[in-house]
Amino acid sequence: MSDTKLKRVDLIFGEYSNVKYKVLSETMKRPNEEILEDILESGLRGRGGAGFPTAMKWRLTAQSPSEEKYVICNADEGEPGTFKDREILTRVPRKVFSGMAICGKVIGAQRGFIYLRGEYKFMLPELMKELDGYNEHAKSIGLDFPIEIKLGSGAYICGEESALFESMEGMRGEPRNKPPYPTTSGYLGKPTVINNVETFVNVMMIMRLGAVQFKLLGTTDSRGSKVFSVSGDTPIPGIYELELGMPLDRFVDEFGDGDTKAVQVGGASGFCVPRKKFKDTVIGFEGVPTGGSMMLFNSSRSMYHVLHNYLDFFEEESCGQCTPCRVGCQQLRKGIQAVKKGDKQSHYLDQLMKLSESMKLTAKCGLGQSVANSFSSIVYNFKEEMIY
């Protein structure tokens, strides 16, 4: 049945225009306000997972008075189950550079950086070649916006924007208190726009197609398309660009192996949706948001094991700076082990749920705050698997 098929899109990975950096050159001639209006009109929200409205971020940074501003592309893709940024930077890097340069023009920044995770160091030679091409081209059209690559060194937390600034500044990747936000105080304390790789490409697509065309895709709350990283128990793992706002049951129809019992939407820091809720779950900002990670689990998988794996991950990747996260991750992991072994009664899980809620309220950054997402959605929906 054709109506159960998901809408495949080919925007992000679509071919470059035949003239090199055509959209960039054209956009450079447009007034900033008009560009911002277009992005606002398109309804674009950040593609890293948090979904902050892009136009607002850019406008706030544009309005921050400073001689020195920066544009940073967050390519510290570390969320388990996510690998789309690598694909984008491999296949269409020029679109990323262009999006960054447009941002630089709008906010009045002089320099751009790409923070690439250390695990992707092998990409450097190719990426540098492309970047040299961009930098040369920029010079030739009188565009003063050089872009540089900074490499991470294997710390998931550096995907958190303020930890990323710290890392670029040569510090431990420990998140800062907010406010101040990057729009006023980011890299080196200067106003900074930091966006996900995909967000910059989306801006490019809006410049190329216009806001109206972009808006045709998706729903009121989730405009446009999204690149999904699909993995786990699926016969067709890989990268797919799909329209936002799709119901999860249709996604499972297409990608499941016929025995899907749960889908982890948004990686280890996202939500685990059990089979009975597939029908009522929408993938998008109005439902369950995702930075692109979609991991499918079939009935052969122990959800206890899955949760344990996530908690190991968080325990190791927690920067250790704030107590709720440093101690919380550890205690959650020890807690589910104790319940499983029978050292604790099953109602101890309720205590652990409360602990995860406390972490949501009191942890300093998104890492500690979001552990509760997967923890409570797995414990709540698969309680018997936690106990027996």
Partner 1 sequence: MTANNNYITELVERYGRGRTSLMPILQGVVERNNFISDLDMTEIARELDLSAAQVYGTATFYAFLDTVPRGKYVIRVCKTITCDMHGKRRIIQTIEDMLKIKTGETTPNKKFTLLETNCLGWCHEGPAMLINEKPYSGLTPERVHDILHEYMNL
Binding site for partner 1 (CB under 8 A): 77-83, 86, 117-122, 150-156, 167-174, 188, 229-233, 237-239, 264, 268, 293, 295, 297, 301, 306, 309-310, 312-313, 316-317, 319
Looking at the DSSP assignment, which residues form a beta bridge with residue 264? Answer: 272, 295
Least Å distance, CB 322 to partner 1, is: 15
Least Å distance, CB 13 to partner 1, is: 16
CA-to-CA distance for 332 and 372, rounded, in angstroms? 10
Least Å distance, CB 273 to partner 1, is: 16
Residue 241, SS3 per DSSP: strand
**Is 216 in contact with 7 (CB distance < 8 Å)?**
no
Least Å distance, CB 96 to partner 1, is: 17
How many Cα atoms are found within 13 Å in the side-chain-facing hemisphere of 72? 32
Q: Considering beta carbons, is residue 269 or 376 the nearer one to partner 1?
A: 269
Amino acid at 10: D
**Which two structure tokens, joined as six digits, stand for 347?**
């109602």
Q: Considering beta carbons, is residue 204 or 230 the nearer one to partner 1?
A: 230
Least Å distance, CB 77 to partner 1, is: 6
Least Å distance, CB 157 to partner 1, is: 9
Least Å distance, CB 311 to partner 1, is: 11
Contacts of 63 (CB under 8 A, 6+ apart): none
Residue 340, SS3 per DSSP: helix
Gyration radius of the chain over CA positions: 21
Q: Considering beta carbons, is residue 58 or 120 the nearer one to partner 1?
A: 120
Q: Considering beta carbons, is residue 283 or 303 the nearer one to partner 1?
A: 303
Q: Considering beta carbons, is residue 38 or 385 the nearer one to partner 1?
A: 385
283 phi and psi angles, rounded to 5 deg: -85, 105
Question: Which value, to the nearest 10 degrees, does the dihedral of the CA atoms of residues 230, 233, 235, 239 take?
Answer: 10
**Is 225 in contact with 217 (CB distance < 8 Å)?**
yes
Q: Considering beta carbons, is residue 138 or 155 the nearer one to partner 1?
A: 155
Q: Considering beta carbons, is residue 249 or 315 the nearer one to partner 1?
A: 315
CA-to-CA distance for 282 and 328, rounded, in angstroms? 30
CA angle, residues 339, 269, 202, in degrees to nearest 5: 165
Q: Considering beta carbons, is residue 171 or 212 the nearer one to partner 1?
A: 171
Neighbouring CB atoms inside 10 A of 305's CB total 12
CA-to-CA distance for 224 and 158, rounded, in angstroms? 27
Least Å distance, CB 19 to partner 1, is: 33
CA-to-CA distance for 77 and 175, rounded, in angstroms? 16
**Residue with tokens 């490499």, as numbered in its chain:** 151
Least Å distance, CB 59 to partner 1, is: 28
**Is 305 in contact with 272 (CB distance < 8 Å)?**
no
Q: Considering beta carbons, is residue 46 or 81 the nearer one to partner 1?
A: 81
The DSSP output letter for 318 is: -
